[in-house]
Every structure is written in C-alpha cells, then in structure tokens.
A and B are shown apart, each in its own frame.
Chain A
Amino acid sequence: MTTQTQPPIISLRQVIHRYPHSGQNAALAGLTLDIGPGEFVAVAGANGSGKSTLARLLNGLLLPAAGEVLVDGASTARAENLDRIRETVGMVFQNPDSQIVAGSVGDDIAFGLENLGLPPDEIERRLRAAAERFGVGELLEKEPHWLSGGQKQRTVLAGVVAMAPRVLVLDEPTSMLDPRSQLEFHDLVRSLWHAGTTVVYVTHLMEEVAVAPRMLALADGALAFDGAPRDFFTRDDLLKKTGLVPPLAMRLSRALAAAGGPQEPALTLEELVERVCA
C-alpha cells in the first residue's frame, strides 16, 4: 500500500527464499509488495513466519532463491549494487551485543562511517551528532560491556543512522530491552520517521504495530495482510491465521464492549480512555 506518488524505494517481486538444508520448505513463498519513501511499515507474524528473512532480504544480507528485491531500483542480486544498497538501507538487529564491533561507543558509531571512506573530520562530526541525538554523547569513550541494554541498542542505532540511510530496517530491536527502554527506543525510531526516513519495523509487540500507519502480517512465509492495523486487529480470521493477538487496549475495549461498554474498538490506550470517558 504505497500512499506516495513517488516510485517505491523497496520492491519485492514474487520473492521466494529457502534456507540451505530446509528442503522444499520456503521461508518466504512468493512475496510481492512495495514500500514507498517515507513510509512506516510494521511487520508482524508468529515465530518462523518469515519476518527476519524478509528484513535480511531488504539490504542484500540474504538473496532470494527466486524473484527479485529492488532497492531504489537496484536489484540486490547484483553484487555491484550491494554497496549502494547497504548505504541506502540501514539495519538494526535484535541483540545489541552481537552488533557492536568496536571497543568503545565512539569507535563503534564510527565503524560504518569509516567503511564509507569518509574523512576523519566528517566522521567525527557525524558520530557526535548521532551520539547526541540518541543520548549516548556522554558515553563515547565507554567500553560496550559497561552499557545497559537500552544504551547498547541506542549506540547501534546511532551507528546506523550516522551513515544517513534513507531506509531503516529494524528486526525486533526492542525485544531484549526493558519496558521503559522499549518505549524510548520506539519513540526514537518514530522521530526518525517523522524526519523523513522510511522505516520497516519488525516486531512482536502489538502495541508497536498498533501505532504504525501500515502493517504487514506474515503467516508461513506468505503475506496474510497488508493494510492499516485497525483493519487487521478487528478481523478474527486473520488473527487466527497469523497466530497474533490484538494489543492490550483492543482486548480491554472488547471486554468492555462485551460488558455493555463502548462498542467501538480502541486500538491504543489513548483511544480507549477517550471512548470510556466520552
């Protein structure tokens, strides 16, 4: 569902992906979709539904067995495109501990910038700006093992964002964080989206899906739904097919409706409060 009139920044055309030794079982089975520039797309699905595979296909870490992934018109299957594709699509993974390469926060944020071959002054300028933006400006000389989970994941995000990617793909980035850090991190990602970055956000947390303008729901490697979260969470057949549950606010609002309360379902806690207090 590309709302913009501009051409999509990411296109998948009948993408099939199989992992070695998995026989004929496809992790992704013929996925076709477009993501427009500036979109925020949440990706949800049960374990093994193909979410992480999809994320890794978007910047050429995995290549499709069939079909095509295009990033800004360039196919990930062509090796000569990969440098440009990885500059365009930044990735944040689940576990910050296995993404931090360098021995200090500052050096880790600089890692990607050094790979881009930027001059030292530019590296320093960009890394300081990113570190300040994500609240790790005071920790530049700290060794990663002294950081909290939230600080580590913000360091990773700073390192990726410092490279100025146009698309940010996040694969369950908050699943190892405490609830407060989850909220802070999600807010940071939304601020990047508001600033114009295209965001593809893979998550298990339905509260994070609920506030996305668009969601993709995967089931057994196929696209089960592509649209607004409200339309998804109000359909029991889709919830059953994908093995997902609605966010807490919607479950509460359903319980209230069953008990004679407001009938219109609420997607977020704010909406629920509004309906109850109306």
Chain B
Amino acid sequence: MQLGNAAIGQYLPGSSLLHRADPRLKITTLAIFAVALFFVGGIAGLLVMGAGLLLALALARVPSRLIFRSSRPVLLLALITFCFQLFLHGGAQLGHLGPLTLYRDGARDGGFLALRLVLLVLSGITLSLTTPPVMLTDALGRLMAPLSQVRFPAYELALMMTIALRFIPALLAEADRIILAQAARGAGLGGGLTGRVRALLPVLIPLFILSFSNADELAQAMESRCYRGGRGRTQRRRLALGRVDALFALLALLLVGAGIVIGRKSGF
C-alpha cells in the first residue's frame, strides 16, 4: 500500500479559459451557478446548463473518464433519488415493473432532482479539476478578507485549510509506515467489521500522537519565521482581474441566464 503517493485534490494542469480565470471569480461563479440551479424551473434549463458545463470541461481537455470517476458517488445518489420519485410519487401511472408502479410525474420530478444534484456536484468538480488547491485556499482567504473587519479570522481560516491540505499526504505516508510496521510484527487487518475496527486502533493511536507532535513542531517553525497571524502580513500572489476573467464571467452569466430563461419558457 502506498498511501503517501496519493494525489491530493483533483487538479489537472492546463491552459484553458477555465484554468486561467481568477480563482476568486471561479469560486464566486460556482456559488452563483449553484444558487441558479434552484431557480431553474425545468429540465430543459438544467440540460442547457449541464451541456455548457460539459463543453467547458471538454475545452479544458479534462478526460471524460476522470469526470465520470469523480462524479461516480453522486451518480449513485442521483439514481436513488430518481427511483424514489419514480416509484413513490403517486398520480398518473406510467406502467409497472414487477410489483412496483412507475409514476409519470415521478419520472419527471425524479429526473429534475437527480439532474440538479449531479450538476451541483459537477460544478464543484469543475472548479477543483481546473484550480490548484493552493490557489483555492488563497482565493478563499482573499474572498473572506473583508470579514476580518468584524474580527472573523479569515486569514487564519485560509491558512488552516492550506495546512490541512499540505499535511494530508504526510499523514497518509505516516499511516503507511505504521501499517507496515504493524504488519511486520504480525498484525493483520482482521476479519469482519469488528475485526477491522479493532485492527485500525493500533494504527490510529500512533497516528494521532505523531500528528500532535508534528503540529507542535510546525507551530514552532511558523513562530520562528515571524508568524503572528494575519497582522501586517502581505501576500506573494497579486491577483488582478483581466480580459480572460471578463470573458469567463460573461460566458458563465450567459450560461446561467440561458438556463433560467429556457427552463421557465420550455415548461418541461
């Protein structure tokens, strides 16, 4: 098992419009897109927005298998949602499947809800596939910066996210080492659920202790490099909105607008 070499986040480097747009703008657009999904009145609108999203991912040269792999968990949830509506909705019947009755409105509402769920997750996946985690936390910190006026620890929160991301591979590598050390002394993974949980404890306890020790050292290293919170701190990256960002914002707004209008007018 090589946990330490696992890729963190799903970022796929590229130079498309999606990649080059300002991460703050991308996060804001994602928020607008997600809210807009709840204002779209019909499946046709959602289909337009979904097509736009898939086109953007295709232009960003994101392989379709990667999109599918990333959204697989939500596809299952969407399928369950669809089935619930299809079989339990009530109203006009569409037909029968063994002992189960299929409802016409259930199919429509189920499809609508499932599609909305998939698009919601897909938009988040699009952001993480085209934005490095470092830029994401940096952008979040900047977007939250005005909140520091009301004593909200915006910078500290962004730094916490950065450190959490930074330490995931290190923790995985440590877990890897502990598992190997336990295995070398004859520890197995155990059979059944209870056995597995019991086998995890000897891994988790040293991992926790090690994490606390690492956190202590990290705090000392940060202090020795003059860290004193966000006070008086400047930032290496200078983000400025440009033409690329204007084009990105325009296309995103057009897509969201088209989705809402078509959704309302089509009546489907």
- What is A's interface to B at a CB cutoff of 8 Å? 56, 59, 61, 83, 86-87, 89-91, 93, 95, 97-104, 106-107, 110-120, 123-124, 127, 143-145, 156, 159-160, 163
Contacts and interface: CB of A to CB of B under 8 A. Distances in A.
B258 to A, nearest CB: 36
Nearest to B168: A145
B173 A145 contact: yes
A99 B228 contact: no
Interface residues of B, number: 34
B87 to A, nearest CB: 46
A96 to B, nearest CB: 10
B84 to A, nearest CB: 40
B218 A101 contact: yes
Interface stretch (B28-36, B159-167, B248-256): B159-167
Given A95-B217, A98-B218, A124 B236 contact: yes
Contacts of B227: 111, 115
25 contacts: A59-B224, A86-B224, A86-B225, A86-B226, A91-B221, A93-B220, A95-B217, A97-B214, A99-B217, A99-B221, A101-B163, A101-B218, A101-B222, A102-B134, A103-B137, A107-B134, A115-B226, A117-B234, A119-B234, A120-B234, A120-B238, A123-B234, A124-B236, A145-B169, A156-B221
A83 B236 contact: no
Contact of A61 (B224, B235, B238): B224
Contacts of B162: 101-103
B4 interface: yes
Contacts of B96: none
B34 to A, nearest CB: 25
Contacts of A127: 236
Nearest to B5: A145
Contacts, number: 102
Interface string B145-166: 0000000000000010011011
B233 interface: yes
| Interface of A: prevailing SS | helix
A83 B224 contact: no
B170 A104 contact: no
Nearest to B138: A107
B65 interface: no
Given A101-B163, A103-B162, A145-B173, A117 B222 contact: no
B220 A61 contact: yes
A120 B137 CA distance: 18
Interface of B: 4, 8, 132-134, 137, 159, 162-163, 165-166, 169-170, 173, 213-214, 217-218, 220-228, 232-238
A144 B226 contact: no
Contacts of B238: 120
Contact of B166 (A93, A100, A106): A100
A163 B220 CA distance: 16
Contacts of A124: 236
B166 A144 contact: yes
Contacts of A98: 213-214, 217-218, 221
A60 to B, nearest CB: 8
A159 B236 CA distance: 13
Nearest to B135: A103
A69 to B, nearest CB: 14
A93 B217 contact: yes
B233 A143 contact: no
Contacts of B4: 145
Nearest to A156: B221
Given A95-B214, A103-B166, A106-B236, 20 more contacts: A61-B223, A86-B223, A86-B224, A86-B226, A87-B226, A98-B213, A98-B218, A99-B217, A103-B162, A103-B165, A110-B236, A111-B225, A112-B225, A112-B226, A116-B226, A120-B234, A120-B238, A145-B8, A145-B169, A156-B221
